Amino acid sequence: MAKAIKKQALGRGLSALLKDPENDIKSANDKNADKVVGNIIELEIDAIEINPFQPRSNFNEEALKELAVSIKELGVIQPITVRKLDFNKYQLISGERRLRASTLVGLATIPAYIRIADDNESLVMALVENIQRHDLDPIEIALSYQRLIDEIQLTQEQISDRVGKKRSTIANYLRLLKLDPIIQTGIRDGFISMGHGRAIINIEDLDIQTDIYQKIVSQNLSVRDTEALVKNYHESLKPKPVATKGKSSSFEINEEQKRAFTNYFGNLVDVKVAGNGKGKITIPFKSEEDFNRIIQLIKG
């Protein structure tokens, strides 16, 4: 506790330094900058403006009130981070929930880390800080990754290095942005999970996506159920094999042809043809003499 009191007292001393026009620090190379930049300083809340690059768009009011109660009792345990814009003017980089909650309980000052950064650095810091939070929904995280790509021109590999996440993890979040906006809203509002979204994204047709989404919500389907639905959909798209009858090679032996065999060999010849066109001719004989006779006929 004594350590916390000492830190806050130090912060108030540095705050006085920042309010001195003779010590207006605008860059890390200015006099006394090393005493301010990176240190915890008690800043007047009225001197802090909200970060226009704030990636978070939803704030749970109930959770905000709970945080306000905690701050009222224990104070702000984790300082916010700001960047210096002008004399006694700062812009929030991260910690908007703490700033909002502190305002709710009527605090005049808040502990803050001071950074001097351009807009790009500010955006990167804000996005990376928010990505690391556990209470962001998957779509907010995906949008933060996308902004790092679009506005800072970072690659997925570079983002991976910045946030300490695998590239495949980042890619999975980004793929959620291909979902129909209705489904993205469903994920943000907690109607379905990221796992559901990852299953649905394997369908390109947005109308089919929303149909499956409606089934998930109305039937309370699990992620595994959803994966089965998607699999069945893809199976239904595969061309079904056409059952074709093989061309028959069989043919008919008429009575006249049978009689021709019988008349030639002098015995009742049996001729049979199978379905594949193959067959056999059976020539009976009555004795060895009859057999030799038939042999002579075959030899011609």
What lies within 8 Å, CB to CB, of 134 at 6+ separation is none
Give the 3-state secondary structure of residue 159.
helix
Tokens of 28: 């890390």
Beta bridge mates, 84: 90
User: Among all residues, which ones are annotated catalytic?
Assistant: 96
Q: Any bridge partners for residue 63, and if so which?
A: none
Q: 153 in helix, strand or coil?
A: coil
- Phi and psi at residue 170, to the nearest 5°: -60, -45
- Residue count of the chain: 300
Which tokens belong to 29?
Answer: 């190379």
Q: Are 141 and 173 in contact (CB under 8 A)?
A: yes
Three-state DSSP string of 40-91: EEEEEHHHEECCCCCCCCCCCHHHHHHHHHHHHHHCCCCCEEEEEEECCEEE
Q: Which residues of 140-160 are buried (b: 16+ CB within 10 A; e: fewer)?
A: bbbbbbbbbeeeeebebeebb
CA distance 193 to 62: 22
